[in-house]
Amino acid sequence: MKYLAAIAIATLAWAQSTGTIRGTVTLTGEGVPAHGADVLLPKLGKKTQTGPDGKFVLEGVPPGHWDVLAHMHSLSDQRRTVTVSVGGSAEVAFELSLSPVREQVTISATGREETALETFVSALSVSSLDLAGKSSSTSLGDLLDNQAGVAKRSFGPGTTRPVIRGFDGDRVLVLEDGIRTGSLSAQSGDHGEPIDPAQVERIEVVRGPATLLYGSNAIGGVINAVSPQHDLHEQPHPGLSGSLSATGGTANSQGGGSGSLRYGMGAWQIWGGFGGMRTGDYDAPLGMIENSHTRLNNGRIGIGQFSNKASWTFGYSLQDGRYGIPSEEHHEGEEEEGNGHHGDVDLAYRRHQTRLTGSLRNIAGLEQISLKLNYTDWNHRELEGADVGTRFSNKQFIYRGEFQQKRRGINSGTFGVWGMTRDFKSAGEEALSPPVQQLAVALFAVEQFDFERFRLQFGGRVERNQHEPDGLVKRSFTGLSGSAGLSVPLWQGGVAVANLTESYRAPSLEELYFNGPHAGSGLFEVGNALLKRERSLGLDLSLRQQNRRFRGEVNYFNYRLSDFIYYAPTGGIEDGLPEAKVEQAGARYTGAEARVGAALNSFLWINAGLDTVRAELRETKTPLPRIPPVRGRIGFDINRKGLSVRPELVLANHQHRIFETETGTAGFAVPNLTASYSIAKQHALHVFGVNMFNLSNRLYRNHLSLIKEFAPEIGRGVRFNYTVHFY
């Protein structure tokens, strides 16, 4: 009882030492409240939403001067500065209008919601409305291709996976609401990362090492697909809200639709979602690429209870899909013999996911304690006609506990614990390793200090990984990752950021134990059970600017890797494939990315972007495989009331700095045109969109495609989409 009384007294004292921010958000020109608008305190990570009357309340705000941000879907965002006094209430009003310029909000950089301008690491966020016009398949890499610093690895449309700053596979971690998806896309070029763009609120990209919060697999970066349910623990959402969407397109016979619903009553919330997308074989300028079809069906349900002090949620989701693998043998056979579908291989997959989350707020001197428990059962079959060639099973259980500290003067921070149990099995022609169990556990902490003229951030993570294969040598690895960051405001809306990171990566089970012919990499792989852990020492520099007429970001990075793990060709041929052994050597990744947007007048913006990366083995200067060439884009955004027209030109230089098992690719320029019309009302936002891609029907090849020699990129086509958000 004494302990409970002490907590109550401390909580009361804390409440009396803080203030409140109240206000309204309305739609410009409509004169009506904006229902469902997000209101955010970026520096504190606090967030709320407006009710049907457009009003909001942010409680527990420490005294001081604070920037408040209001934003909503495709509407403009606004910042206001307010002053909060002890026990006082500050008032602020926002007016939002349709605009091509919006701030990017991310939770992946620090685990707390903030804007990309405030983050220490280099982060970007792509909203569901932006994704709707770009989705040409059911795979993640297509959705993010040509974002600054992000390319796509491909073995056909169903297999695309993001590559960040030249890092691929086990060095890029893919998450869903902050938890690993449980797929096998990092394992092989012909394994995809399926995602329905209509079932996410946004996709966030952390470029550069994110090992502190997410683990050793994030040495190159993190992709986080954020669902509409990610923030339900914040507060209940009364009434009915959700979205509906439909998509159709040419060049690959694309068609699909989806919906999500959320209903809140009192402290309770229930939600559900469903969706389906299919594409046929796609048309390239040289003709149809056989067996390049994709299909994805998904559904999810959940329930939760929320209060000011505690909340919990329980959810279940199912993904079921199938995609084809284009083959060179089939392509040549069709030309020579016209033999139809001989040799076609399809991959059929299914993923079950169950998640339980809980949180407590304002307890034991902490702002929030949260816990996530997640179980994923992923399996897929490689189908050769009616026969099953190989079966893969990947079951993993993950727990993650986070403790958010209350802000004390200049200090705020997060610390936590994370763990994973993984059971991997394969059987059949591509059963390249015995069953393997992986155990992992980690402790992490990130602390931030906000001084008047600059901010500092320090973090550390210690992680242990253990692999236990049947009949082979067991291996365990323990490593420490750390970082130090400095953020200095330069002028109004301008900031310079520097980060120094030392990251650790444990070898993957594929690198340790795979042995045999692997069609997904085009190699006869020979693993190395004696590998050492991989280390990276990295420097990231960033210059950012945001105001009403100009937004830009320039990043430079340099990573020096020790004991870098790669596949070194031996010169031999085994089972018709080049033999390659897993070896280790020093490597270096260096490069830059830039993106800018400038207002030429009130309705015309010009946008441009550029990225480049150079990766090589340090001693021999040998280029590493599948590194994207220098890429750029330039375009305009013509915006008049609800109409937006966005022509662009996507450019890539030739890539002749290649690994010895690669072939070079020529440069290209591809014109695209996207247009949308939005109708914003108090309780609904309607968006009609059209995307015309590769208007010149240019024959071009993605350098990161493992089948680029016989499967160039998609030809001229058009996609139509419609989305309505209601609240």
- Listed residue (473, 539, 482) closest to 507, CA to CA: 473
- Listed residue (121, 209, 204) closest to 165, CA to CA: 209
What is the per-residue pLDDT for 553?
94
Q: What does the alpha-carbon distance between residue 318 and residue 328 come to, in Å, rounded to a whole number?
A: 33
What is the per-residue pLDDT for 331?
52
Contact 545, 102 (CB under 8 A): no
Q: Does one domain contain both 111 and 7? A: no
Model pLDDT for residues 388-400, shown as the tens digit of each residue: 888 999 999 999 9
Q: Which of the residue ranges 10-24, 179-193, 364-378 would you say has the lowest mean pLDDT?
A: 10-24
Q: Between 249 and 2, where is the model more confident?
A: 249
Whether the pLDDT of residue 182 is over 80: the answer is yes
- Find the CATH number of the domain harbouring 16: 2.60.40.10
What is the per-residue pLDDT for 330?
53
Whether the pLDDT of residue 8 is over 50: the answer is no
Q: Would you say the pTM of this structure is higher than 0.85?
A: yes
| Mean pLDDT score, 524-552 | 93
Contact 351, 322 (CB under 8 A): no
| Mean pLDDT score, 246-250 | 93
Q: Does one domain contain both 348 and 478? A: yes
Q: What DSSP designation does 492 have?
A: T
Q: How far is CA 193 from the centre of its chain?
A: 11
H/E stretch holding 217 reads none
What is the per-residue pLDDT for 338?
37
Whether the pLDDT of residue 98 is over 90: the answer is no
| Domain boundary, last residue among 97, 122, 157 | 97
Q: Which band of pLDDT confidence, cut at 50, 70 and 90, is reported for residue 6? A: very low
Q: Does one domain contain both 119 and 75? A: no
Q: Does one domain contain both 428 and 561? A: yes
| Mean pLDDT score, 351-379 | 92
Q: Which band of pLDDT confidence, cut at 50, 70 and 90, is reported for residue 307? A: confident
Q: What does the block give as tokens for 327? A: 């083959």
User: Letter for the amino acid at 557?
Assistant: F
Model pLDDT for residues 423-447, shown as the tens digit of each residue: 999 998 778 899 999 999 999 999 9
- Find the CATH number of the domain harbouring 568: 2.40.170.20
Model pLDDT for residues 46-89, shown as the tens digit of each residue: 778 888 888 888 888 888 888 888 877 666 677 888 888 888 88
Domain coverage including residue 262: 106-726
| Mean pLDDT score, 470-475 | 93
Burial class (CB in 10 A: 0-12, 13-18, 19+), 581: middle
What is the per-residue pLDDT for 73?
65
What is the per-residue pLDDT for 94?
84
Q: Which of the residue ranges 24-28, 289-293, 484-488 would you say has the lowest mean pLDDT?
A: 24-28
Q: Does one domain contain both 58 and 188? A: no
Q: Which band of pLDDT confidence, cut at 50, 70 and 90, is reported for residue 30? A: low
Q: pLDDT averaged over the chain?
A: 87
Q: Which of the residue ranges 99-113, 603-617, 706-720 would you say has the lowest mean pLDDT?
A: 99-113
Q: Does one domain contain both 307 and 244? A: yes
Q: Does one domain contain both 91 and 117? A: no
Q: Which band of pLDDT confidence, cut at 50, 70 and 90, is reported for residue 661? A: confident
| Domain boundary, last residue among 38, 64, 97 | 97
- Listed residue (317, 84, 22) closest to 195, CA to CA: 317
Q: What does the alpha-carbon distance between residue 661 and residue 389 come to, in Å, rounded to a whole number?
A: 26
Backbone angles phi, psi at 399, to 5 degrees: -125, 145
| Domain boundary, last residue among 97, 131, 148 | 97
Q: How far is CA 332 from the centre of its chain?
A: 37
- Count how many domains the chain has: 2
Q: How far is CA 279 from the centre of its chain?
A: 23
| Mean pLDDT score, 116-125 | 83
Q: What does the alpha-carbon distance between residue 605 and residue 600 come to, in Å, rounded to a whole number?
A: 6
Q: Which of the residue ranges 127-136, 238-247, 620-629 would you say has the lowest mean pLDDT?
A: 127-136
Q: Which of the residue ranges 121-125, 254-258, 366-370 would you say has the lowest mean pLDDT?
A: 121-125
Q: Does one domain contain both 195 and 323? A: yes
Q: Which of the residue ranges 49-63, 140-154, 594-608 would you say has the lowest mean pLDDT?
A: 49-63
Q: Does one domain contain both 86 and 114? A: no
Q: Which of the residue ranges 126-140, 291-305, 388-402 would you say has the lowest mean pLDDT?
A: 126-140
Beta-carbon-side half-sphere exposure of residue 715 (alpha carbons within 13 Å): 15
Q: Does one domain contain both 247 and 368? A: yes
What is the per-residue pLDDT for 342?
40
Beta-carbon-side half-sphere exposure of residue 659 (alpha carbons within 13 Å): 18
Q: What does the block give as tokens for 42? A: 């970026």
Contact 58, 245 (CB under 8 A): no
SS (H, E, C) 34-61: CCCCEEEECCCCEEEECCCCCEEEEEEE
Q: Does one domain contain both 551 and 634? A: yes
* Dihedral of alpha carbons 174, 107, 104, 262, sign: positive
Q: Between 651 and 60, where is the model more confident?
A: 651
Q: Which of the residue ranges 90-99, 179-188, 360-369, 663-672 would you say has the lowest mean pLDDT?
A: 90-99
Whether the pLDDT of residue 100 is over 60: the answer is no
Contact 195, 140 (CB under 8 A): yes
Model pLDDT for residues 706-718, shown as the tens digit of each residue: 999 999 999 999 9
Q: Does one domain contain both 227 and 360? A: yes
Backbone angles phi, psi at 330, to 5 degrees: -65, -40
Whether the pLDDT of residue 15 is over 50: the answer is no
Q: How many residues does the chain have?
A: 727
Q: Between 452 and 375, where is the model more confident?
A: 375
